[in-house]
Copies of this chain bind each other. A is one copy, B any other.
Amino acid sequence: MLNKKQWFTEIHQDSSALSFKYKKTLFEGKSPFQTVKIIETKSHGKMLINEDIVMTCERDEFIYHEMIAHVPLFTHPHPKKALIIGGGDGGTAREILKHKKIKNCDLVEIDSMVVNACKKHLKSIGSAFNDPRLKIYFEDGAAFIKNKKNHYDVIIVDSADPIGPGKVLFETPFYKNVFEALKPDGLMTAQGESPLYEQKLQKTLLKTAGKIFPLAGFYNYGNLTYPGGVWSFLFASKKYHPIKDFKAGRVKNSAFSFRYYNKDIHQAAFSQPEFTKKNLGTLWKL
Contact = CB atoms under 8 A, between A and B. Distances in A.
B19 A16 contact: yes
Interface residues of A, number: 49
B21 A14 contact: yes
Interface in A172-223: 196-197, 220, 222-223
Given A1-B4, A20-B16, A229-B230, A196 B220 contact: no
A264 B271 contact: yes
A255 interface: no
A168 interface: no
A101 to B, nearest CB: 21
B230 A258 contact: no
Given A264-B272, A274-B262, A275-B260, A15 B9 contact: no
A194 B97 CA distance: 31
Contacts of A274: 258-262, 265
Interface in A1-41: 1-4, 7, 9, 11, 13-21, 41
A60 B229 CA distance: 12
24 contacts: A1-B2, A1-B3, A1-B9, A2-B11, A2-B17, A9-B19, A13-B43, A14-B42, A16-B20, A16-B44, A17-B17, A17-B20, A63-B273, A197-B224, A222-B230, A224-B227, A224-B229, A258-B274, A259-B274, A261-B273, A262-B274, A264-B271, A265-B274, A267-B268
